[in-house]
Chain A
């Protein structure tokens, strides 16, 4: 394709197409996206190649074997359970729970922030003061408090993290909606007889979604870390259900002599959080109008 053709085809793309194009030119972000995608695919399709019973199968004969042992690529833990199986099945919880938390927080945040930003005044005040209450408490502490109130368990942990995460989204959405609500096309939509809810969710919110998507991607990393932290503290996913933070926690007594037990789950936590941050940064750059050309 000649340069001219390419330029033409670029201007004919939708906004989404142009963002995708700019994103694809960012190598680090693409690397992050690929790693995350591979991790997710492996975790989701885990039952296809690893038997779930391996996660729980204990065997004193093979306990604390290092990585590379026959049949156990990443070694075994103190009960002789296969670390690879636990990591992969643990990833299903860490990554998917992270997605679920960010998804739920996003929905709640977009609805509340959208209404607050669009209507302003009293509605804005009430919603944002509620959010302020949640934001005033440190996130980790708040999730711990909610888990303590609701009781331990995977689902309760999801609720706790959602409660802790949504005010941030509500703020971001509100800020971008406030700059958009006075745009002429909003007035034009009003002139066509469009109802407020339709204006908010069809005309305003999609236009202001850019920064929200970026913060959601970055939050996803933070949430995975938070899930791992809660797991490590023993108030998230409870052992023996595998989860990266929980695996780290149950192995911590042996880390001094068998460092791979800490390294392996830690590596997966770190790599997924880092890659999500790359993706988030890449998205931010791709959405920045100043990088347009």
Chain B
């Protein structure tokens, strides 16, 4: 306790809508140390973004509700922190990069003003000149010529806007960066550039990072730790090596790997995961993946599996119940 930068314990988040209650996050446990990069993989609706928004306390008001659990950031209990404390954290110590750079910049402020604003908010004592220098410097780091800081977002391309988003997130040198699918809206060549840039900056400032993505390749390339999210809980976690050697995996992770086309070897038919994503308004009693799992037993449907650890590698599946993880 206290040593971790971020610690999420037994987090439950639900969205209360008029029609139904959506159980978005169900018992999420997560720790992250300084400078560590965690990849969070999962389908749309698995609860990845909800987790990120919970960390920032920016769940939609009245609709999103944290029902149980705790989030501790560097000793601060986030769930009980005052609004003012949270405002101090956001942007300065925890920053976020958004999925769609087209809509995450304010169209009527110049990019310089927008980066400037972060500094104004968190370093009120800084002189204007210093701030201007910081803005120039961060723009240089993300590869935008500084004379363009007086231009408006519509004058930049998508990739450049994402660079600006990164500049905004990093200008205050936060310790934790939440990247919510930062490359999904970009085309592939730009994706590689942006990831490269993020990696460089992350290493330079020793920023901890949670990278939320659908892309297993990105995780393998970029992260040290991985967690696979399904139905609002982490079903597998471990170091990248643990998961990607594919000796032992959760059946869901296996399914994910099998649905990636292989570049080497003969072209085979891809094996999709059968069925659909678990309905978050109506979660099963047992393992949330049981319905789609080829190995499912009656026990899987009746009770929830715990985490079975093997060194740093943990899998939530009865198949690995004995410590050695024999299937």
Q: Interface residues, chain A, CB within 8 Å of chain B?
A: 11-12, 14-15, 121, 183-185, 187-195, 198, 202-203, 206-207
Contacts and interface: CB of A to CB of B under 8 A. Distances in A.
Given A193-B90, A193-B91, A187 B122 contact: no
B105 A191 contact: no
Most buried by B among A183, A188, A206: A188
Given A11-B155, A12-B155, A183-B103, A191 B58 contact: yes
Interface centre among A121, A187, A207, by most B CB within 10 Å?
Answer: A187
Interface in B59-93: 62, 86-92
Contacts of B118: 192-193
Contact of A195 (B87, B108, B110, B151): B87
Interface residues of B, number: 32
Contacts of B108: 15, 206-207
A121 B91 CA distance: 27
B139 interface: no
B229 interface: no
Contacts of B105: 185, 188
Contact of A192 (B103, B110, B121): B121
Contact of A190 (B58, B92, B110, B152): B58
Given A188-B168, A191-B91, A207 B106 contact: yes
A16 to B, nearest CB: 8
B168 A192 contact: yes
Contacts of A189: 106, 117
Nearest to B153: A185
Given A188-B98, A206-B108, A194 B121 contact: yes
A217 to B, nearest CB: 19
Interface of B: 56, 58, 62, 86-92, 95-96, 98, 100, 103-110, 117-118, 121-122, 151-152, 154-155, 165, 168
B98 A187 contact: yes
A187 B118 CA distance: 14
Contacts of A184: 98, 100, 103-104
Contacts of B165: 188
B151 to A, nearest CB: 8
B256 to A, nearest CB: 28
Nearest to B171: A192
Contact of B90 (A14, A183, A190, A202): A190
B63 to A, nearest CB: 11
A291 B13 CA distance: 45
A192 B155 contact: no
Nearest to A15: B108
Nearest to B86: A193
Nearest to B88: A193
B58 A187 contact: yes
21 contacts: A11-B155, A12-B155, A14-B110, A15-B107, A185-B104, A187-B58, A187-B98, A188-B106, A188-B168, A189-B106, A192-B90, A192-B118, A192-B121, A193-B87, A193-B90, A193-B91, A193-B92, A193-B121, A203-B109, A207-B106, A207-B107
A191 B122 contact: no
A166 to B, nearest CB: 24
Given A187-B98, A189-B117, 10 more contacts: A184-B100, A184-B103, A185-B107, A190-B90, A191-B58, A193-B86, A193-B87, A194-B117, A195-B87, A207-B107
A192 B106 contact: no
Contacts of A15: 107-108, 152, 154
A289 to B, nearest CB: 11
Which among A187, A193, A195 has the highest number of chain B CB atoms within 10 Å? Answer: A193
Contacts of B62: 121
A154 B46 CA distance: 64
Contacts of B122: 193
A193 B85 CA distance: 10
B142 to A, nearest CB: 16
CB-based closest 3 A-B pairs: A192-B91, A193-B91, A193-B90
A192 B94 CA distance: 9
A28 to B, nearest CB: 27
A14 B152 CA distance: 7
A183 B122 CA distance: 23
Contacts of A190: 56, 58, 90
A220 B122 CA distance: 41
A86 to B, nearest CB: 44
Report which residue of A11, A14, A192, A207 has the largest number of chain B beta carbons within 10 angstroms of its beta carbon. A192
A62 B150 CA distance: 63
B64 to A, nearest CB: 13
A187 B152 CA distance: 19
B91 A185 contact: no
A189 B86 CA distance: 13
A183 B103 CA distance: 7
Given A14-B152, A188-B98, A193 B106 contact: no
Contacts of B106: 185, 188-189, 203, 207
Nearest to A195: B87
Contacts of B98: 184, 187-188
Contacts of A188: 96, 98, 104-106, 165, 168
Nearest to B95: A191
A151 B92 CA distance: 55
